[in-house]
Amino acid sequence: MTDDPLSNLLLDSEEIDRASLARALQDYVGVDSKSGKVVLKPGFNKLSARKKVLAYLLGKKVAKILGKIENELTAPKDIPIETGIPRGTVNPKLRELSDARLVSQTKDGDYFIESHQILNCVNELENKEVE
């Protein structure tokens, strides 16, 4: 029996996402091991507002993946409370991220990152261009 050359394309996307997420977020956010709350690291303050919102939502995704929270859905009003980003800044950035298909929104207006969006979000976060 010969090896199928297409089998070289098989991968475990969850493991790639985990490695990418860890690399992209390590300087910006962490997840509290008890509460599952996203914890901001010193590097978070160096990010643009758009990337801060993205890093926070990715942190919520990580907390969900790790089983530390049941629900990663985030109301726009909660982001300024948790991050210190002004509400007048958060809402336009959420719209930008949604328009760019980096985040998704529920019918109730809560935001989250779907599994298929993770790699694009990581790429956006790691993009070093000034915004």
Whether residue 4 is contained in a domain is answered as no
Write the CB contacts of 66 (distance below 8 Å, at least 6 apart in sequence).
Answer: 31, 36
Entry pTM: 0.87
Mean pLDDT rounded to a whole number for the chain? 91
Residue 1 pLDDT more than 60?
Answer: no
* Angle subtended at Cα 62 by Cα 57 and Cα 68, rounded to the nearest 5 degrees: 115
Whether residue 1 is contained in a domain is answered as no
Q: Tell which wins on pLDDT, 104 or 115.
A: 104
Whether residue 5 is contained in a domain is answered as no
121 touches 102 (CB < 8 A): yes
Whether residue 3 is contained in a domain is answered as no
The reported pLDDT for the residue numbered 16 is 66
Whether residue 84 is contained in a domain is answered as yes
